[in-house]
Amino acid sequence: MSRVTVVGGGIIGLAVAAELLDRGADVTVLDPAPDGTGGAWHVAAGMLAPGGESAFEYPHLTRLLEASHGLWPEFAASLGDIGYDTAGTLSVALTADDVASAAREWRHQKLTPLSGSRVRELEPGISPRVRAGAFAADEHQADPRRVVAVLRDRLGGRIVPRRVADLSEVDADVVVVAAGAGTAALTGLPIRAVKGQVLRLRGEPGLLRHVIDGAADGRHVYLVPRADGEVVVGATQEEITDSRNTAGGVHDLLRAALDLVPGLAEHELTEVTVGHRPGTPDNGPILGLLDDPARRVVVAAGHFRNGILLAPITARLIADLVLTGSADPIIDGFAPGRFR
């Protein structure tokens, strides 16, 4: 039986470890955060939106996003109640300029534009000032914190609180590096931290039924409503590595959120957070064997804006690679060697 150590207990490391455990491997996960809250997953909204990347610019990535989206119903069912919600996403635009730029995106995603009044029929909490929208039925959501909690429970004592400084310290037959933005320091791979500020609001459940992906006076915001009344408001995207919430970042998110859904003004502001997306030069994850002489290091990192969506397919591909030495050819476009 293979002894596999997964470095990083974020959503990717845990999904890979749980899949390996199910398939009979002897797995250990190393992560310094005792409650596991160190990763990007802890702030992530949990949108499962395969149309988020341009299919034209990133055809390999679009195929991977769609394939993982197809695995989500089974993945969610295997985890239990993790807030998997298939009500869909309503994209909305406030001003004429917002409509003009959103319309390009709607055409690209082959979505039918809706009038402002039709948008409010679908989602009565949307402001009467919103001019138009479009409905993406296959853009779903799940709560990453609940996913991680279930996976942590499943792995139990196999999660060891430890920060790895050098992969040569890790005693195992195979090492899977799934350390998110921390992967660059361990492997030298080009993964950079891309800051995102996110807010959480809380109020009476039911103000919103769908995920809202909106533009308000040139400000982009998404609102992800959970069944218990939480609404996740995200997110800035900043090429900077600090962890500060800024007045400008919080203002832009709140202003856009309240312009689109005025009823949110009565919600409590419960969290103001920052996370770091593990970005790569081509926005695609890095999946596969590192070119080390022992051929024992496998990388599963760099999932950038889509790590929640990509968790099920990453788990499957990496477990196949670790246990059988090969995986579906869809993995080939994401090899660690592609940036040399």
Ligand X SMILES: Cc1cc2nc3c(=O)[nH]c(=O)nc-3n(C[C@H](O)[C@H](O)[C@H](O)COP(=O)(O)OP(=O)(O)OC[C@H]3O[C@@H](n4cnc5c(N)ncnc54)[C@H](O)[C@@H]3O)c2cc1C
State the residues that interact with ligand X by CB under 6 A: 7-13, 30-33, 36, 38-41, 43-47, 163-164, 178-182, 186, 196, 198, 234-235, 275-278, 301, 303-309
Q: 41 vs 75, which CB is nearer to ligand X? A: 41
Minimum CB distance to ligand X smaller for 82 or for 178: 178
Q: Distance (Å, rounded) from C-alpha 130 to C-alpha 91? A: 11
Residue 48 pairs in a beta bridge with 140
- The tokens for 24 are 């009979």
Of residues 127 and 306, the one with the C-beta less far from ligand X: 306
CB of 49 to ligand X, least distance (A): 7
The least distance separating ligand X from the CB of residue 287, rounded to whole angstroms, comes to: 11
Question: Minimum distance from CB of 236 to ligand X (Å)?
Answer: 8
Residue 228, both tokens: 């218990």
Phi then psi for residue 202, to 5 deg, are -145, 135
Residue 195 CB contacts under 8 Å (≥ 6 apart), including other chains: 236, 237, 238, 239, 240, 241, 242, 243, 274, 275, 276
Closest by CA to 44, choosing from 184, 237, 190, is 237
Task: Report residue 240 as tokens.
Answer: 């900077």
How far, in Å, CA of 255 to CA of 262, rounded? 10
Q: Which amino acid is at 115?
A: S
Give the C-alpha separation, 7 to 32, whole Å.
Answer: 10
Of 33 and 87, CB closest to ligand X: 33
- Residue 44 CB, nearest distance to ligand X (Å)? 3
* Min dist. Cβ of residue 147 to ligand X (A): 10
Query: Which residue type occupies 293?
Result: P
Nearer to ligand X by Cβ, of 213 and 259: the residue is 213
- Nearest to ligand X of 133, 302 (CB atom): 302
User: Tokens in use for 270?
Assistant: 């419960």
| H/E segment holding residue 221 | strand 219-225
Instruction: Output 7 or 313, the one with its CB closest to ligand X.
Output: 7
Contact 174, 295 (CB under 8 A): no
